[in-house]
Amino acid sequence: MNSSNLDLKRIALVVQYIGTNFHGWQRQPHHRSIQEEIETAIALTLGHDVTIHGAGRTDSGVHGAAQVAHFDAVSSIPPERWAKVLNTRLGDDVLIRASAEVSQDWHACFSALARRYRYTIYTGKIPNLFLKPFTWHYYHHPLDAEIMAEALQPLLGTHDFSAFRRAGSPRPHSFLEVQDVSCQRIKDLIHIEIQASGFLYGMVRLLVGLLVEVGSRVRSPLEFKNIWVNQRRDLVKYSAPAKGLCFLRVHYPEFPIPESVWYNSQPIFTFS
């Protein structure tokens, strides 16, 4: 065997998961997590424990379309084969889409330029079982997607987003750069996307909870802006359900895995 195959390698993974039966990304005692599930699969393969590092943490019930993680290993398994090897040991609700070797100074979290989330709201009055695991079924009041899109625009740029921060966040401050926002309606479905340098604990769900008040005309776009600009966390009362949220993708300056694997791997729900 070629000794070079047994050098320490850093392996990047593109991870998908249906978050319904997970208590979030991060390993925790007495609860099932995506991190633990993958670490267990790697440990069974290598014969010893390994820690994986993710690009971000998701809450209980939140989905991941193209989460990125990395780990270090000394193994003869080719880097691009790790995806198939791990998938034989993972459950039906978590999948490694691809794997590749990266440099030793590359880091799934610290090398990222941006993360993007998508939140999906289903506004039809009749329940739909195929949409239920992945959308917030909001039908109590009509939602105006155009006015919601208008309210999102002032978020662009670097601001203090303390109003959308749940207790327990480990970050030392609440300043983030929001790089892109969108809100579009496709028949009975509203898709909200937010891309930022990073996200606060619970940020997107709190933001969507307040944004729905704008869409239902309980609040104006100006009220929405004043609440977060003035850091009025006390006025952000509702967190949107976890199941409507998906960690869509991560952007890096250099990434060896093709864009087709990670760029838009959660299908947008629609009706023909």
30, HSE (Cβ side, Cα atoms, 13 Å): 0
Among candidate residues 7, 49, 59, 160, the one labeled active-site is 59
- Which residues of 2-89 form beta strands (DSSP E)? 8-17, 53-54, 63-74
49 noted as active-site residue: no
DSSP for 87-134, written as a single string = HTTS-TTEEEEEEEEE-TT--TTTT-SEEEEEEEEE--SS--TTTTTT
**Which residues contact residue 168 at a Cβ distance below 8 angstroms, ignoring those fewer than 6 apart?**
201
Closest CA to 179 of 153, 208, 150, 151: 153
119 is in an annotated binding site: no
Q: Other C-beta atoms within 10 Å of 226: how many?
A: 15
- Size of the chain in residues: 272
Tell me the backbone φ, ψ of residue 54, rounded to 5 degrees: -95, 160
- Catalytic positions are 59
User: Residues at the annotated binding site for substrate?
Assistant: 117
User: Residues at the annotated binding site?
Assistant: 117
